[in-house]
Amino acid sequence: MILTIFLLAIILCLIFGYICILKSRCKYFKQRGLSGPSPVLFFGHYRILWSLPNLSEQLRQWTQQYGSIYGLLEGTRPMYVVSDVNFLQEVFIKQFASFNTRSIPFLMKKVKGHQVHMFGASGSTWHRQRHIINPTFSTAKLKLMPSSIHDCIESLMNKLKTLDEKGEQFNIYEMYRRLTMDVICRCAFGINMDMQNDVNNILMRKCKLAIDDNPERLFLTKLGNLLPFLIPILHYVMIGQMLLGAFSRAIGSMWFLPKIEELPALWILNQIGSIINTRRQVKCDDKLRQVDLLQLMLNATISDDIKVTDDLNDKSIASKQLHKEEVIANMLLFMIAGYDSVSTVLASCTYVLATKNDIQEKL
């Protein structure tokens, strides 16, 4: 009886202490003299953010109401919303070395080792990857790929001409997405997928699904952001889900097990890994190799026979090269990021040109 009362008292004290911490976090911005919408205990501003159909529009309204610098709470994690140019210049230019890490979900921070790409890396890992990968986007390297880009654009123009002759309406954004993915496949992997004509291309479908699978929308991610102390447990739950899916696919022919489809991002990662293995198996003179982003990154990878030890020379070698897993992760990053961002910019520019005759005349 006494032990039960003692345990109950401890639990109540822990709950009371946690509530006090939550209340203190709700005052985080007020204590620093910053305004903002009122947070809700435990959720912060998450309940509002999750329910918004258009986050950017809501942020614009809050900026008009609370000024160029105000704060929001993602659970208990503070987030500054800034539109002050001088403040942004201080953070992103003058003090960039201290603010190079992107904001990522707590659950994603548990991903360690060489599977981390530049968006998820931090500290020395981020600096090393950026230092190695940045030269692959130099003007000299990009000039080696114009013929592939020109072929993709030529294919788009022919398709637009055909649609114009037929007098059919079409969604230019969807065509830009296919153009962008076509260019990425050719310039990044040296593969001609002809996605502009192959409507049912599986890689195109997987990329769309990967973009729609925003990790911020996952239940485990939301729970991890609200309760960071559960991250270790949730991380193993996520790994268990992935292993269960892999096991189900491995014996998918067994009738008594439901078929679990592989996550789109994992499917793409496996395809990239297969391409890399094929590249490594093919013996070819460096002068005859096709110049693309993947090959440029493979040239900077650590050979399988190099093992990093405590020796200074080995560390020096590793600090200037990438691991195979890092190449795979970053290739997925460039594919997904380029596919969505470039096509959106092209569609936006086309809309402006189509609706603003004065801008057309200036160009």
Alpha helices in 192-289 (DSSP H): 202-212, 219-226, 231-250, 264-281
- 3-class SS of residue 189: helix
Please choose, from the candidates 323, 196, 213, the residue with its C-alpha nearest in 3D space to the C-alpha of residue 268.
213
Q: Dihedral sign, CA of 34, 39, 43, 46?
A: negative
Going from N- to C-terminal start, the domains of the chain cover: 23-99, 134-213+263-362
CB-based burial of residue 148 (10 Å sphere; 0-12 exposed, 13-18 middle, 19+ buried)? Answer: buried
What are the φ/ψ torsions at residue 218 (nearest 5 degrees)? -65, 145
Whose tokens are 């205990």? That residue is 41
* CATH class of the domain at 134-213+263-362: mainly alpha
Summarised one tens digit per residue, pLDDT across range 219-269 is 777 787 788 777 778 777 777 766 666 666 556 545 545 555 667 888 888
Kind and range of the H or E element at 82?
Answer: strand 77-82
> What is the model's pLDDT at position 320?
64
DSSP state of 39: P
Structure tokens at 167: 């007098």
Instruction: Report the pLDDT value the prediction gives residue 289, as an integer from 0 to 100.
Output: 62
Which residue intervals of 40-171 are DSSP H helices? Answer: 46-51, 55-66, 85-89, 123-133, 139-142, 146-166
Residues of the chain with pLDDT under 50: 253, 256, 304-317
Conformation bin of residue 274: beta by default, left when phi > 0, alpha when psi is -120 to 50:
alpha
Closest to 197 (Cα-Cα) out of 208, 186, 182, 180: 182
Q: In the prediction, which pLDDT does 113 show?
A: 60
CA–CA dist 99, 104 (Å, integer): 13
**pLDDT (0 to 100) of residue 347:** 92
Closest CA to 189 of 284, 291, 280: 291
